[in-house]
Structure 1
Amino acid sequence: MNYWLVKSEPFKYSWEKFNQDGRTFWDGVRNFQARNNLRAMQEGDLVLFYHSNEGKEIVGIAKVVKEAYQDPTTEDPNWVVVDLSPVESLKKPVTLEQIKADEQLKDIGLVRQGRLSVMGLKREEFDRIIELGS
């Protein structure tokens, strides 16, 4: 299993809206590194959901329920989406400030490549964030 983090601005697509929908395709990725991460996602992989800009916090866990396919919002074959479903909300959101202050998370992509919208996580990083959010 692989672990990932996706970012969304809450006013565009919030964790609450995602839970209401129950499933969504993750579209709008127009960065090749983030696209390659989408392509690498496998069914069953776990994904942390991060509210960017407003809140700047990880709020929940999702899972990949369909692997990469053509982004239906564009005809450009360079871009793909995956389908995600919510798994559970974190008891306490984990803020970017907490992540930056945590020695175990100092090398996480969220800190090193803050603008990347889809990134991989090491299992230890994923587990530590879950621990902080419990």
Structure 2
Amino acid sequence: MASSLVLKYFKSVVCFMSAGRRFHSDQPSNKPAEKKTKSGSKAASSSKSSTDGVSVVYTRWLMKSEPESRIEKGVDVKFGLEDLKKEPDQTACWDGVRNYQARNFLRDQMKVGHLAFFYHSNTKVPGIAGIIKITKEGYVDHTQFDKKDPHYDSSSTKDNPRWFMVDVKYICDTKRFISLAELKGLYQKHAQSGGPLKNLALFTRARLSVQPVTEEEFDFILGLEDKPAA
């Protein structure tokens, strides 16, 4: 269900194809920080969420990752867009998510072919760096069982796993970096005027490292790359 703007965009960036891997930063209560992962390919299905009793279908997402080194339990959890590009087939599993709502998005709603913004978080200038595609739907996150991994969860078992991940593939860099500050200014303006970003989850559900994005929001944000930074 790609919009004409997205189709036009992908025609213009087809020559950019390269790929990569994982990591983000939801901070749920009393849970280890989250992380990300990898990819595959196929046609997009739709996924549903409920907002105030109304069913909402999502095929677009925003996924946060840390592009700068940060050592957690002796492991560097850095994973930026450039790291994803270096992965085999520029594909990686999006592991380490330890927030239940974000987990549910990964496990239940993300479908092969869905697109996502790759968002750099926990850095001096956070923001959107590129676009990735879901290539494998939710499956068990192996890091929850690894005692040496920063995202190990002693309460999770292989018979009853708690955490899930998807695979993602690099599609392209955005033509320019779209900063959190720019998006915040637009969100505040749209919240008053009723513009496309008035309910953007980046601000209404800020702590989630995996967030749903409507097609209207996705297309509007994508259109910013052809305009000077606000």
Asked if Structure 1 and Structure 2 have the same fold, meaning a TM-score greater than 0.5 normalized by the shorter chain, the answer is: yes
Farther-moved stretch of structure 1 (25-34 vs 94-103): 94-103
Aligned residue number for residue 80 of structure 2: 14
Aligned residue number for residue 97 of structure 1: 181
SS of match in other structure, 2:106? helix
Shift of the alpha carbon at 1:74?
1.6
Distance (whole Å) between structure 2 residues aligned to residue 41 and residue 122 of structure 1: 13
- Mark the runs of 5 or more structure 2 residues left unpaired by the alignment: 1-43, 45-58, 69-77, 146-155, 191-195
After TM superposition, list the pairs within 5 Å mapping 1:55-74 onto structure 2: 55-74=125-144
Q: More strand by proportion, 1 or 2?
A: 1
Aligned residue number for residue 112 of structure 1: 204
**Larger of the two Rg values belongs to structure:** 2
| Count of equivalent residues | 134
Structure with bigger RCO (C-alpha 8 Å, 6+ apart): 1
Q: Deviations over 1:53-108 (max 9, x none)?
A: 21211000000000000001123301001000010100111111111111232320
TM-score norm. by structure 2 comes to 0.57
Aligned residue number for residue 86 of structure 1: 170
* CA-based RMSD: 1.1
- Mark the runs of 5 or more structure 1 residues left unpaired by the alignment: none
Identical residues among aligned pairs (%)? 43
